[in-house]
Structure 1
Amino acid sequence: MPDYNVYKKGDKWVGEKEGASRASVTGDTQAEVYRETRDLSQRNGGGEISVHGVNGQIREKNTIAPAKDPRKTKG
């Protein structure tokens, strides 16, 4: 389960997987980037998202559950 960070970089907000060299998600608002990062995390098996304020400090952490597979069939 990959973990992600949402933080401000320059004039944009970014959602970045821990250890990645570039952002997975970018946008103009923290809320927009958080939603897209949450959806990405769900699709990739869940994980934890750390939301940083404009000062760079973590202000909240959220554990994201894996997305549910809409089909109940094997394979």
Structure 2
Amino acid sequence: MQIHTRRVPLNKDVDLKEIAERTEGFVGADLKMLVKEAAMIPIREVVPFLDDDKGVPTEMLNSLQIKMKHFTSALDNKMPRDKSN
């Protein structure tokens, strides 16, 4: 997980060990997809409050952090449930 999150703004509450335990059996592509999905969640949270013509301000993007709840949501809602197939 450290490889896939090294350039990602993580909140202090993110527990990479817990995520690693929950993703046992995932391959690198799965982990990469998980990090991307978790990173999109805080962006989706602010999109409804933005001006459509201006997009997401750079300073807002720079202030966003991925929290543990974002990883949990990505795992619960977007990731494959059965990695044995």
TM-score (norm: length of structure 2): 0.29
Identify, as 1 or 2, the structure richer in strand: 1
Identify, as 1 or 2, the structure richer in helix: 2
Tell me which structure has the larger Cα radius of gyration. 2
TM-score (norm: length of structure 1): 0.32
**Structure with the larger RCO, 1 or 2 (CA within 8 Å, 6+ apart):** 2
